[in-house]
Structure 1
Amino acid sequence: MPETPEPPKRPRTGTDLRRGALGTADISFFVVSAAAPLTVMAGVAPVAILLGGVGAPAGYLLAGLTLAIFAVGFTTMSRHVRSGGAFYAYIARGLGKRVGIGAALLALIGYNGMEIGVYGLLGTTTADTGHALAGLDIPWLPVSLAGLLLIWYGGFRSIDFGAKLLGILLVAETGILVLLAGGVLIDGGAHGLSAGSFAPGAVLVPGTAAVLAFAFAAFTGFESTVIYRREARDPDRTIPRATYIAVAFLGLFYAFIVWTVIQAFGSEEVLAVAAADPAGLFFTAITTYVGPWAADLMHVFIVTSVLASLLAFHNAINRYALSLAEEGVLPAALGRIHPRHGSPYVAGAAQTALGAVVVLGFALAGADPYQQLLLWVNTPGMIGLMALMLLAAIAVPVYFRRVRHDEGPWRTLIAPVTAAVLLAVAICLVISKVALFTMASTTVNTLLVALVPAVFLAGLALAQRLKTRRPEVYARFAEEPAGAAEPAVPAAPAAPAAPAAQGESAAPVVSP
């Protein structure tokens, strides 16, 4: 049987990203910083407590467990598909190029949505901090625009510069939460410490579904570890380690901090305090158990937490755009890498310009920076990234069924299928509780949710257009670049290839 011709390989350019610049800790900083732990805790956890009661901490553990199961197949596939495109590359190799291109567009829109909306949060948190500390009335728009320039500069500089900066900011925001927890534990809480938050009677309540929706949203961005493959030291080890560290840290840390705040007020009283002043719950707790000076620091560190999240997402977006430019899907100019800093600086400038357009558009429309710019732009981004995780989980067993490998069934079948089921449930939970995220009308919520399938369908249409008009781009989509390292697994003896679908690359078939 004649061999199926391989699609053309993408050549590597002379200027590349900074190879070997990131270790496990550096990548973990990017991932955890994107989640913005302090902002999530102080800004969102009080609402989770209101909805789920004292069992809210368990919701974060359950979400973390689900994503840890997803990470099993996800990181296994990262050893076989060596691409900076991450999700879209995995999906393309498992479910075909059309679905992969649809996923690529969804990823680009999803990550941009998660970042650009946060500029509204930057404006409001800075205004709140200025008012709380000095009685100042700071307009949000100049702050957001200044933030755009600051984040652009952070992305323009080398990736190790960004990792060091995020490390400092992350230590600050987690440190203030640890300080709060330490004060509560030393004093023994309001009525002594109790593990009642993890009792079945506290967890198995109707409000837990809403808590789970918030908890999954709190992990957004953890999957971006694989985006940094080209810049990682020993990526076959570094990427999985960073992924598991990020998921474990976020799940355990979120649950611990929420449990601590419940202990600070007492299981009976915390709901009343959260209902009276949800935004002030954490500040009241740290003032009581540590001191007013710590509350002032928390105000400042919330602003730096938002900045860290913005920089982490900005770097992830730039690398997605870089990969798609190298694929030929986006304009080639976006694939330019700075000769000194090794950063995708053109993609960074384009992303900053897009952010400025959206921020200014909301401002000119008189929109609220929190309830509309943040919530309306973030929500479809969050749902889109969860949909990408679901597609990636489905792609894993399909891919490993088609290729020869020496991985076990837990990594290639059981874990990814379990993760796919759990992620599908999580997406349904988030959509069913979407009004809690947006605080908007049914019409607005319907439009925001509908954006996700609409973007994916637009990606499928783009795939068909590429296949028809630029077949060479379609043929090499999600294939390994020329000169890329071979997979770490030993190559199996060649087997006759199954006929490939038109435009799809052939994959070795596993014998039954």
Structure 2
Amino acid sequence: MPVTTSEERSPAPAATLRPGSLGTADIAFFVVSAAAPLTVMAGVAPLAVLLGGIGAPAGYLIAGVTLAVFAVGFTAMSRHVRSGGAFYAYITRGLGRPVGIGAALLALIGYNGMEIGVYGLLGTATQDTVHALFGTDVPWLPVSLVGLLLIGYGGYRSIDFGAKLLGVLLVAETGILVLLAGGVLLKGGAHGLSGASFAPEHVLVPGTAAVLAFAFAAFTGFESTVIYRREARDPERTVPRATYVAVGFLGLFYAFVVWVVIQAFGDAEVMKAAATDPGGLFFSAITTYVGGWAADLMHVFIITSVLASLLAFHNAINRYGLALAEEGVLPRALGRIHPRHRSPYVAGIAQTVLGAVVVLGFWAAGADPYDQLLLWVNTPGMIGLFALQLLAAIAVPCYFRKVSHQEGVLRTVVAPVIATVLLATAIVLVVTHIDLFTGASTTVNTVLIVLSPAVFVIGLAVAGWLRRARPRVYQNFAAEPVEATDQPKEFRRCPPPS
């Protein structure tokens, strides 16, 4: 009879995410890539200029400052909350489990909406690029399905593989915009360089409200730095640094690039150019100041920009799915981690299948990949993430009122309160200008707006069911990891002001 040693009888330890894999730059690559800077600039910034005039660059600065204020309290809390649940863990600590569970469902739907809709953009961007370069038309559905497989594979691989890939793609898409800026600056623009874009008389105009709506949307996904906490090196420092790097870079870069393209045409002529061909504004500028070859590269890099955004959101969604599976809210199978790549691969497969179902559903219905798949799926996802930011801002002072800490009042009260007011204003701007994002009917826009609060209410109902039917899951929801013992295990609603 063979002898079995104790080592042979012991089960293999369960695979975990790979700790210490990501530095500040790696995490920043994920969140900046999710924002898709080249796609936002070439595809959306011309509309911001058309609506807000030459003061449009200031709108991106204002949005950046607002989100930097939000990041002050957000990152202060990140040093105290070690859960892998990111947004919903923060909201649970400050506002209680029911609100936290509602936020968890909202995050899952919001991030999925932000990613899945973009497969429609991938199809149309590829169509435009192939037509511009080769004069050939390609169907969008095969492109989107191939994209689903590529992104699924990227999420299946290790997180450091994704970080390296996103680093290359991000350098490409920002590099082509830097090339455009260099050409414009070296030639002095159309009529010399002007700072009129930042003058109060051009910033404080009625169209600025619409510009701000676009500008806030351009930062979507920046807060996902905290999702990678479990894989970060020195997360107490890395996560806050990556958050500030991402917000600072996006705010300054967006404002600079929009200002540059205004200089390329001139303050007086850019509005006419944007009205004549908004989609071609950046391509026309780079052709004039750099060359046609650079315009061809920009077409190609828009595709890689979209792919980078998809991969960044896919990785974020996988980690939310993993966290909720570990909580017991989602099926445990979604919490499996690949033994070699150390990735949440089952959650990734599930997300890829969901994306394929939605994409094929829109195709079967004869929907337009841009006007309907992208805009109708992406817009409620964007609103959902804004709502999560608002809830997180409210949760920060509530949390710090309940625990002992050495954080200053600026971080724990002043900045979060200011951020709450500013983010609420941003949500109002987006909702009241939703027709600019969707181009849809009033009925469709109403449905898209109502989806996020409806999902949150469903989450509250799920919380009530968990409390009755699965009390242990409910009580342990968003609890600290076992090794973290310095945080309270019981979380209450924010107490009323004294």
**Residue type of the partner of 1:256?**
F
The answer to whether the 8 Å contact 2:92/2:491 transfers is no
The 5 A counterparts of 1:48-447 are 48-447=48-447
Count residues in correspondence.
486
> Residue 9 of structure 2 corresponds to which residue in structure 1?
none
Matched, 1:17 2:17: yes
Deviation, structure 1 residue 507: 10
Deviation, structure 1 residue 482: 1.6
Deviations 1:40-90 (A, max 9, x none): 000000000000000000000000000000000000000111111111000
**Residue type of the partner of 1:146?**
V
Deviations 1:234-277 (A, max 9, x none): 00000000000000000000000000000000011000000000
Deviation, structure 1 residue 505: 3.6
Deviation, structure 1 residue 484: 3.8
**Residue type of the partner of 1:213?**
A
Matched, 1:47 2:36: no
The answer to whether the 8 Å contact 1:403/1:508 transfers is no
Between the aligned partners of 2:157 and 2:405, the Cα distance in structure 1 is 39
**Residue type of the partner of 1:351?**
Q
Deviation, structure 1 residue 14: 2.6
> Residue 31 of structure 1 corresponds to which residue in structure 2?
31
Between the aligned partners of 1:485 and 1:61, the Cα distance in structure 2 is 40
Deviation, structure 1 residue 483: 2.5
The answer to whether the 8 Å contact 1:402/1:507 transfers is no
Deviations 1:208-254 (A, max 9, x none): 00000000000000000000000000000000000000000000000
Between the aligned partners of 1:358 and 1:508, the Cα distance in structure 2 is 38
1:173–1:478 CA distance, 2 compared to 1 (3 A): same
SS in 1 for 2:21: coil
Deviations 1:415-461 (A, max 9, x none): 00000000000000000000000000000000000001000000000
Matched, 1:450 2:458: no
The answer to whether the 8 Å contact 2:37/2:254 transfers is yes
Between the aligned partners of 2:138 and 2:311, the Cα distance in structure 1 is 22
Between the aligned partners of 2:48 and 2:134, the Cα distance in structure 1 is 30
**Residue type of the partner of 1:50?**
L
Between the aligned partners of 2:32 and 2:494, the Cα distance in structure 1 is 37
SS in 2 for 1:440: coil
Deviation, structure 1 residue 124: 0.2
Between the aligned partners of 2:485 and 2:35, the Cα distance in structure 1 is 31
Between the aligned partners of 1:188 and 1:40, the Cα distance in structure 2 is 25
> Residue 462 of structure 1 corresponds to which residue in structure 2?
462
1:261–1:100 CA distance, 2 compared to 1 (3 A): same
The answer to whether the 8 Å contact 1:118/1:374 transfers is yes
What TM-score results when the alignment is normalised by the length of structure 1? Answer: 0.93
Between the aligned partners of 2:299 and 2:343, the Cα distance in structure 1 is 32
SS in 1 for 2:401: helix
**Residue type of the partner of 1:374?**
L
> Residue 490 of structure 1 corresponds to which residue in structure 2?
none
CA RMSD between the two structures: 1.6
Between the aligned partners of 1:114 and 1:267, the Cα distance in structure 2 is 34
Between the aligned partners of 1:508 and 1:112, the Cα distance in structure 2 is 29
The answer to whether the 8 Å contact 2:58/2:198 transfers is yes
Deviation, structure 1 residue 486: 5.0
Between the aligned partners of 1:97 and 1:389, the Cα distance in structure 2 is 17
**Residue type of the partner of 1:470?**
R
**Residue type of the partner of 2:326?**
E
Deviations 1:467-508 (A, max 9, x none): 000000000001112234757xxxxxxxxx9xx9xxx54699
Between the aligned partners of 1:329 and 1:209, the Cα distance in structure 2 is 39
Between the aligned partners of 2:329 and 2:199, the Cα distance in structure 1 is 51
Deviations 1:338-370 (A, max 9, x none): 000000000000000000000000000000000
1:287–1:485 CA distance, 2 compared to 1 (3 A): farther
Deviation, structure 1 residue 136: 1.1
**Residue type of the partner of 1:141?**
L
The answer to whether the 8 Å contact 1:121/1:374 transfers is yes
> Residue 492 of structure 1 corresponds to which residue in structure 2?
none
1:217–1:127 CA distance, 2 compared to 1 (3 A): same
**Residue type of the partner of 1:307?**
L
What TM-score results when the alignment is normalised by the length of structure 2? Answer: 0.96
Deviation, structure 1 residue 337: 0.2
**Residue type of the partner of 2:436?**
L
Structure 1 residues not aligned, in runs of 5+? 1-12, 488-496
Between the aligned partners of 2:494 and 2:98, the Cα distance in structure 1 is 20
The answer to whether the 8 Å contact 2:96/2:493 transfers is no
Higher mean alpha-carbon deviation, 280-289 vs 399-408, is at 399-408
**Residue type of the partner of 2:334?**
L
